[in-house]
Structure 1
Amino acid sequence: MIHVKKLDIFIAKQFGVLFVGAFFICQFVLMMQFLWKYVNELIGKGLSVEVLAQFFGYMALILVPQALPLAILLSALITFGNLGESSELTAIKAAGISLMQAFRSLIVIVVFISLGSFYFQNVVGPNANMSFARLLMSMKQKSPELEIPEGIFYDGIPQCNLYVQKKNVETGMLYGIMIYRMTDSYEDAAIILADSGMLQSTAEKKHLVLSLYDGEWFENMKSQEFAGSASVPYRRETFVRKKIVLDFDADFNVADAGALSNNSRGKSISQIRHDIDSLTHVYDSIGRAFYHDMRRVSWALPAFSAKDSLRAVKMASTKSFNIDTVYNRMPEEKKLEAVNYAMGQVRSAISDLDFKGMITSDGDRIIRQHRIEEINKFTVALSCLLFFFIGAPLGAIIRKGGLGVPVIISVLVFIVYYIFDNMGYRMARGGMWTVWFGKGIALAVLSPLAVFFTYKANNDSVVFNIDMYRNLLMRLLGLRLKRHVSFKDVIIETPRYDHDVEVLERISAEISEYSRSHNLLFAPNVVNVFFRYSPDNSIAVISEELEEVIEDLSNTRDPKILTELSHYPFMAVKAHTRPFERKWLNIVAALVVPVGIFLYIRMWRFRLRLYRDLRAVRHSNSVIVRRIRQMKFEGLRR
């Protein structure tokens, strides 16, 4: 029997409560983002509450697999961030429980969530996607509600353009009406002008009744018997009151699902694999038929007999044959006939190839979409496990709970995942990448990140130490901090002035010798730097001795010495000698020309900076030595 520890239950409860809340938050955010995509199909259609409820219900079901990974990432971050912030994670590790043991219960939960996500995508998701696609198609086909604007032509009514100069919202009256009606063509157009009117819908919502007052009707009488006539008769009618019935289907009808047979998102894995086999068989048959058609194509000119064709072939096999000569000997009408025939053949061949290419490319696109959807069901389920191994270690590393830092990190990680996943999907759909590579690139990019964070968190390694990254950046760019030596209120040991003077004088002599022998003002030898480097630790030794003297003299109470100690620079002890410690890295950097040039210029800059630093050190040494001797002389006089 499996023994469940209290720690597992405690962490599972913490994660479960946060996961439920994070899931609904992520679901709401994704629905709002998804809603903007279809906002044009919702506004102005007069949809019933029942239809809108179905729309949002199907949308919520479709977005469940996308919300699960983000909810796992956010809840795992907050869970272990709270444990780290309240020092509970420290107590767990102090009890001898490793981080992976603390993850144990949540790993089991996330595995079940991943399996549930896969089941949801394979069983519930296809039905929801198919129902949503049918509903969306019906919404697009539904005519919009009557919302006649002022001052512009409204074309929401079929075969009619309506212009209203002014309208009364309370009474529904329209003023300054101009209507252009077109039935079959522009010759049958009718223009209606009216002083005022009112537009109403019939009870069955299939027609509109337009009541017009004080107006005129102009209509062309173009018909078949006047087709050859240059003049077009028309009629003109003046009316005081007139009613016009317009076709306008404002009801909602559910579309047929037959047009959605190629919707890969509305199919389970078994259906996708079955349809891929069927589509592959169909389009392979079409390809073979196209191949046999091309083999049967004959390009022989009908104007030539069989004897002429054989003669032409025989002439073509000799070097004396010239097609231009044959063409120039032909009569003008034959030349025109030959050119027209050739152009017709070329256009026919191009049109035929374009049509066949469209059919085959459309088949390839449909098959790719089915394969993308098949792999997508696995990748989305695996992303739940991936996001857990990113969120949980990150929470243990940053040790920040709440909705501040975890939300920011979750959004950044999800944006990176979404960019790679969307890019891979588009490249795979377009055929530029293979399907498995396009749908797996997001997981491939973030998996090393998950392994890295898990390893660092399990070993308590420092990852987000700002000071470490700042020091690394300053070293890379050659920046440094200023030294500040302050007065100590309590001094345990007094400085060893005689020893410090001796060391400072020796350091000054070594600095002078080093500057003279190494010519720091001149550019370094490229060969010696990258290919023939010999170790140079002189500055490292000098810097170490100097830091010991500075540490000893910082215990003094003399303000002049303390001030001069702050003037000592922090010296880079090796950056002026070579780019890297290992010889092979220097050789590789030299072979990669842009990198080698950057490192060479950077090293030259450090040589010049070291020259200035050595001058400053030598000057400060002399000042401090004189001050110590002055203090000793004043002590003897007393």
Structure 2
Amino acid sequence: MIKKLDILVLRSFIGPFIATFFLTLFVLILQFFWLWIDDFVGKGIDAFTMLRLVVYLSATLVPLALPLAILLSSIMTFGNLGETFELVAIKSAGIGLLRFMLPLAVVAAFLSGLAFLFNNYVIPVANLRMKTLHYDIVNKKPAFDLKEGVFYTTIPDYAIKVSKKENDSILHNVIIYEASTGPQENIIAAEKGIMRLSSDKRFLEFILFNGWRYEERGNRYANNTDFIRLGFQEYKKVLDLSSLTFIQTPDSTYKDRYEMLSTRQLSKNVDSISKSLARFRDRDIRDLQGYFTFSKYLDTGWIDVKAPPVKKGARFIDLLPDSLKMSKNDQVLSAVKQTVVDQSISYANSIKSTIEGPSWDYDGKRKELRMTMMTYHEKITMSIAVLVLFLIGAPLGSIVRKGGIGTPVVFAVIFFVIFFLLNNFGKKFVKEDVLQPAAGMWLATAVLLPIGFFLIYKALHDSQLFNKEFYFRLYRGIKRLIGKKNSLKPQPAQPS
């Protein structure tokens, strides 16, 4: 049954939570655009496309913004109640801290489950849409922007330069270089021109006046070529702008990547990749069987036969067959020895080249398996992080007893940075094959969960963990103890 105390706590929590969640999400979005702003500027991206990118990006950043919002809002909630002495009044009424935390713990558990569903079903779709849209925007060429005195080379096979523009359409001293298969590029030079787009905006038309067209025909490696110079009073040149249009990549291009899959699909991928890795051993045995001819005798009936021992100090000639021992020609023995060495090196190189290709495939499969398992565990750990950071924020706020956006923000940033670094370290260790995917992705939870239990223990016992007066009194006591100890030491005798 919900009591008035639970309603009080929930009302105190919901406002800071909504505010901090959207503020955190806004900061993370700004960080993304700060890194990629150079790839978006000057490409003529319409507002609707940018809005789509922001929506998809916001969805992908929710798993990171939600734990920080829970941490900060829980610190602010319990800090405000402690600062206004409401927490003291509740404790004096015989209500313990755990009972006081219960409604928010239920909310945190609910948000944790909601976060898992969001990570499992919404994030893959958002990742897929954002990946394709971001790729299209980054690879889109800049919008057409012809500047005075500067060669414009964005349109493939063309370089355009004008000395002056009037009203963005009237051009003076126009030069157009056109790449060709001939000995050199074709050149068009005109005193004046008019630039305009076609009705469907797919072509750029230049109406040029009083100029020349220079063209050289023939094979560039031949000595005989034809040079053509054409004078004109009016000339129309049409350029294709299809390379500057925004082309949307189909979603099916990235649909099989591990970031775009749910836990069920990831689990199936793990099984299939594990089975393919198990087949590599049989494949290597089959490929190397032709080189290791003795392997066909490796069965249950194999008799352990040892080679005769080689005498200490034996020469190479002693190991040769009797037919070669009869030869007294050192050149023959040297040639035989070199032949054996060369054949051995060739044999080893053949074996190396045979196993090198499969080894690269094996490493690629192992990396794919690690990344798939990492994504699987990440969906769980990022949802559990909501509950873990609440277990840190709630007791921390009751210990600090400071509300507002001052002290709570400092502590929230510190613990979130610890969580963020540990999570990134875990990912890095998994990618570099230092840790197993489960160990790497649960690293942050394994470190922060004991800290949360420690803070709950301190809060239950009204600890002065963050009270500066407590540390000042402790410092004075230690200083007084050291002074008393020094006074008890025997003083050196003074010379008479």
TM-score by length of 1: 0.63
Q: Give the structure 2 partner of residue 131 of structure 1.
A: 129
How far residue 4 of structure 1 moved from its aligned partner, in angstroms, is: 2.0
Matched, 1:428 2:439: no
Q: Give the structure 1 partner of residue 204 of structure 2.
A: 208
How far residue 218 of structure 1 moved from its aligned partner, in angstroms, is: 4.0
Post-superposition CA distance 1:485-519 (Å, at most 9, x none): xxxxxxxxxxxxxxxxxxxxxxxxxxxxxxxxxxx
Question: SS of the counterpart of 1:244?
Answer: strand
Paired residue for 1:63, among 39, 44, 61? 61
Contact 1:158 1:247 in 2 (8 A): no
Q: Give the structure 2 partner of residue 246 of structure 1.
A: 239
**Aligned residue pair count:** 462
Distance in 1 of aligned mates of 2:209 and 2:347: 59
How far residue 192 of structure 1 moved from its aligned partner, in angstroms, is: 4.2
Percent identity among equivalent residues?
30
Matched, 1:182 2:175: no
How far residue 92 of structure 1 moved from its aligned partner, in angstroms, is: 0.9
Distance in 2 of aligned mates of 1:316 and 1:145: 81
Post-superposition CA distance 1:512-569 (Å, at most 9, x none): xxxxxxxxxxxxxxxxxxxxxxxxxxxxxxx88xxxxxxxxxxxxxxxxxxxxxxxxx
Question: Which residue type is aligned with residue 459 of structure 1?
Answer: H
Residues 92 and 290 of structure 1, relative CA distance in 2, 3 Å threshold: same
Q: Give the structure 1 partner of residue 260 of structure 2.
A: 266
Paired residue for 1:571, among 483, 486, 490? 483
How far residue 111 of structure 1 moved from its aligned partner, in angstroms, is: 0.3
How far residue 138 of structure 1 moved from its aligned partner, in angstroms, is: 3.0
Distance in 1 of aligned mates of 2:237 and 2:442: 60
Distance in 1 of aligned mates of 2:292 and 2:231: 67
Question: SS of the counterpart of 2:442?
Answer: helix
Post-superposition CA distance 1:402-450 (Å, at most 9, x none): 1111122212221221111112112212322211121111122222221
Contact 2:169 2:196 in 1 (8 A): no
Matched, 1:23 2:21: yes
Q: Give the structure 2 partner of residue 382 of structure 1.
A: 384
Question: SS of the counterpart of 1:242?
Answer: strand
1:404-553 to 2 correspondences below 5 Å: 404-469=406-471
Distance in 1 of aligned mates of 2:406 and 2:98: 25
Contact 2:197 2:204 in 1 (8 A): yes
Q: Give the structure 1 partner of residue 217 of structure 2.
A: 221
Distance in 1 of aligned mates of 2:187 and 2:351: 47
Distance in 1 of aligned mates of 2:258 and 2:376: 9
Distance in 1 of aligned mates of 2:462 and 2:241: 70
Question: SS of the counterpart of 1:39?
Answer: helix
How far residue 42 of structure 1 moved from its aligned partner, in angstroms, is: 3.0
How far residue 207 of structure 1 moved from its aligned partner, in angstroms, is: 3.0
Paired residue for 1:147, among 145, 150, 175? 145
Distance in 1 of aligned mates of 2:134 and 2:347: 44
The worse-fitting range, judged by mean Cα deviation, of 384-393 and 276-285 is 276-285
Larger Rg: 1
Question: Which residue type is aligned with residue 244 of structure 1?
Answer: K
Q: Give the structure 2 partner of residue 397 of structure 1.
A: 399
Residues 457 and 190 of structure 1, relative CA distance in 2, 3 Å threshold: farther
Question: SS of the counterpart of 2:414?
Answer: helix
Distance in 2 of aligned mates of 1:238 and 1:316: 91
Distance in 2 of aligned mates of 1:127 and 1:400: 41
Contact 1:77 1:394 in 2 (8 A): yes
1:317-332 to 2 correspondences below 5 Å: 317-318=319-320
Question: SS of the counterpart of 2:383?
Answer: helix
Distance in 2 of aligned mates of 1:29 and 1:278: 39
How far residue 458 of structure 1 moved from its aligned partner, in angstroms, is: 1.4
Could you list the runs of 5+ residues in structure 1 that have no partner in the other structure? 300-313, 481-542, 545-569, 578-609, 619-638
Residues 196 and 441 of structure 1, relative CA distance in 2, 3 Å threshold: farther
Question: SS of the counterpart of 2:485?
Answer: coil
Distance in 2 of aligned mates of 1:198 and 1:355: 59
Residues 279 and 205 of structure 1, relative CA distance in 2, 3 Å threshold: farther
Distance in 1 of aligned mates of 2:359 and 2:432: 15
Question: SS of the counterpart of 1:143?
Answer: coil
Q: Give the structure 2 partner of residue 529 of structure 1.
A: none
Contact 1:221 1:234 in 2 (8 A): yes
Q: Give the structure 2 partner of residue 275 of structure 1.
A: 269
Distance in 1 of aligned mates of 2:475 and 2:224: 85
Question: Which residue type is aligned with residue 366 of structure 1?
Answer: E
Contact 1:181 1:191 in 2 (8 A): yes
Paired residue for 2:154, among 132, 149, 156? 156
Question: Which residue type is aligned with residue 274 of structure 2?
Answer: T
Distance in 2 of aligned mates of 1:282 and 1:183: 50
Q: Give the structure 1 partner of residue 93 of structure 2.
A: 95
Post-superposition CA distance 1:130-180 (Å, at most 9, x none): 222222233344333112345544432123344455545x33445555444
Residues 315 and 241 of structure 1, relative CA distance in 2, 3 Å threshold: farther
Residues 288 and 211 of structure 1, relative CA distance in 2, 3 Å threshold: farther
Question: SS of the counterpart of 1:208?
Answer: strand
How far residue 233 of structure 1 moved from its aligned partner, in angstroms, is: 5.2
Question: Which residue type is aligned with residue 182 of structure 1?
Answer: A
Question: Which residue type is aligned with residue 31 of structure 2?
Answer: Q
Distance in 2 of aligned mates of 1:195 and 1:354: 63
RMSD of aligned alpha carbons:
4.0
Q: Give the structure 1 partner of residue 4 of structure 2.
A: 6
Contact 2:208 2:234 in 1 (8 A): yes
Q: Give the structure 2 partner of residue 308 of structure 1.
A: none
Contact 1:65 1:121 in 2 (8 A): yes
Contact 1:74 1:391 in 2 (8 A): yes
Distance in 1 of aligned mates of 2:213 and 2:333: 64
How far residue 87 of structure 1 moved from its aligned partner, in angstroms, is: 0.6
